[in-house]
Amino acid sequence: MSTVTISAADVNKLRMQTGAGMMDCKKALMEANGDFEQAIDYLRKKGQKVAANRADKEAKEGYILAKTNDDATKGYLVALSCETDFVAKSADFVKFADDLVNVAVSTNANSIDDLKSQKMADLTVADKLFDIIGKIGEKIDITAYEVIEAPKVVIYIHPGNKVVSMVGMSTGTAASDVAKDVAMQIAAMSPVAIDKDDVDSRTLEREIEIGKEQARAEGKPEEMLEKIAQGKLNKFYKENTLLNQQFIKDDKMDIRTYLDKTEKGLTVKVFRRIQIG
């Protein structure tokens, strides 16, 4: 055990540098014989130990943020997850999420691994995550990261930051309020694709199989099942593909009609929707 005297001022200094708890800082300084750099390493290792110990925990809570670049042609979305809603709402956690999305925008990171390799002050994002884990004591990780690019990207963040959507419009002249309406539609209705032709084959196969089973349960003839299931796809497309969904602000039109009315030929190039919890 260290015989070096650790002052309250030293403990406070380390707390200010790392954000770790008072007793953790005191123990780190004692283990490091008063050496601040070694103490910081000790705390970081403690964070890594916390991460390993909590690897089997579920991080179902969290905070999502998204921002665009300066000309709104690229959007970046970061979902930072944790174990409890208490932590998700804490100032330190929210600030860290904000710092992450700012790093994403400034570095143009293209994946979670790329983002984790970027520098945040004098540490990489990955190392900073370990520091935060050590300070908070919960499993914390970047669980979703999305980047989209289009002539105009608009973001909608639902109150509470649990659901966030990004939409890329086909023209840079698209009105911001119209694009925001579409982003809100995506957040509320969770479409699986932009249009009918964009639905992946696996989803279509599943829907056809479900349609067949429903028709079979209703006693329909076996030779009619395929035709009935194909017919049910029209309802699926209307409910689950963005351009064919009823507009949540006016159910007398679908999104395709709403966009075309506001700007002839306007459509959606890409979208992303992420939800926590």
Q: Which domains, ranges and CATH numbers included, belong to the chain?
A: 8-53 (1.10.8.10), 56-149 (3.30.479.20)
Average pLDDT value over all residues in the chain: 92
What torsion, rounded to 10 degrees, do the Cα atoms 252, 256, 260, 261 define? Answer: 10
* 19 has pLDDT over 90: no
Measure CA of the first residue to CA of the last residue in the chain; give whole Å: 45
Predicted confidence (pLDDT) per residue in 152-202, tens digit: 999 999 999 999 999 999 999 999 999 999 999 999 999 999 999 999 999
Predicted confidence (pLDDT) per residue in 237-272, tens digit: 999 999 999 999 999 999 999 999 999 999 999 999
* 49 has pLDDT over 50: yes
At 51, the amino acid letter reads A
Predicted confidence (pLDDT) per residue in 223-244, tens digit: 899 889 888 898 999 999 999 9
Count other Cβ atoms within 10 Å, centred on residue 155. Answer: 21
Average pLDDT (112-137) is 92
Contacts of 14 by beta carbon, 8 Å cutoff, 6+ apart:
20, 25, 28, 29, 36, 39, 40, 43
Q: Is 187 exposed, middle or buried (0-12, 13-18, 19+ CB in 10 A)?
A: buried
The percentage of residues in the chain with a pLDDT greater than 90, rounded to a whole number, is: 67
Please tell me the pTM assigned to this model.
0.84
d(CA 66, CA 51): 25
